[in-house]
Chains A and B, each alone.
Chain A
Amino acid sequence: DPKIIQKPKYLVAVTGSEKILICEQYLGHNAMYWYRQSAKKPLEFMFSYSYQKLMDNQTASSRFQPQSSKKNHLDLQITALKPDDSATYFCASSQEGTTNSDYTFGSGTRLLVI
């Protein structure tokens, strides 16, 4: 069974629309993350959360908003979508929010903005 569930697996969106990417982890981890992968930037850090608190935000645009309703949930809301947002978005988690923890990644949500 997958330890990190990302939904949907594929997503096609119209420019200017809004979408929410879902992430749930069943590893009992305390820290969760979002990364983006595209041809331009292979694995780009976006956000980190520890105990449901934002720890680090490397996303320049406020169009990207993480949402943590439960300890094991970290959704990503993207507003005013642009074609440049097309990428695969990976959710990840780790036991502790330190750089010595092993990260577990989900299988990703592949977003195409047309």
Chain B
Amino acid sequence: GDSVTQTEGQVALSEEDFLTIHCNYSASGYPALFWYVQYPGEGPQFLFRASRDKEKGSSRGFEATYDKGTTSFHLRKASVQESDSAVYYCALGASNMGYKLTFGTGTSLLVDP
């Protein structure tokens, strides 16, 4: 079945460091890809999405580019802040999956001031 793999379970950085969180997917067809962020005690919040090859999604300084060749949608940010500390989820939605989003296992980002 369709799936999303996030290789980093936890990432620890200092402020102004460069962030990369890896996301790879496995799906038939042409899925839509998403990034969500979850803060403690809250539900996940939509960051951005991309729906076609080479499309870049971005929001709040975060960005990711849909790469069908490498089946990836890696999240990047040039300079992280303490307020970026949260759990980040990559997700996949495919038309043959009906209405659901399939989420990765999440990456916990901790940014030290």
Q: Which residue of A lies closest to B33 (CB)?
A: A99
Our pick among A42, A50, A99, A106 for the contact of B105 (Cβ within 8 Å) is A42
Give the docked Cα–Cα distance between A43 and B100 (Å). Answer: 11
Minimum CB distance partner of B105 in chain A: A42
How many inter-chain residue pairs (CB < 8 Å) link A and B? Answer: 64
In the complex, the chain B residue whose C-beta lies closest to that of A102 is: B46
CB <8 Å contact, A42 and B94: no
Does A31 make an interface contact (CB < 8 A)? yes
Complex-state Cα separation, A86 to B84, whole angstroms: 28
Q: Report the interface size for chain A: residues with CB under 8 A from the other chain.
A: 24
With contact pairs A43-B106, A102-B49 given, residues A33 and B100 touching in the complex (Cβ less than 8 Å):
yes
B99 near A43 with CB under 8 A, answer no
Cβ-based interface call for B103 (8 A): yes
**Interface membership of B98, Cβ < 8 A:** yes
Of the candidate stretches B13-21, B36-44, B60-68, the one touching chain A is B36-44
Total contacting residues, chain B, CB less than 8 A: 26
Chain B residue nearest to A46 in the complex (CB): B100
Q: Does A61 contact B (CB under 8 A)?
A: no
Known: A43-B89, A92-B43. Is A103-B101 also a contact (CB below 8 A)? yes
Complex CA–CA separation, A107 to B38 (angstroms)? 10
Q: Is A55 in contact with B43, judged by CB distance below 8 angstroms?
A: no
The 9 closest A-B pairs by CB, nearest first: A99-B93, A105-B43, A48-B99, A43-B103, A56-B98, A45-B100, A97-B99, A102-B46, A55-B99
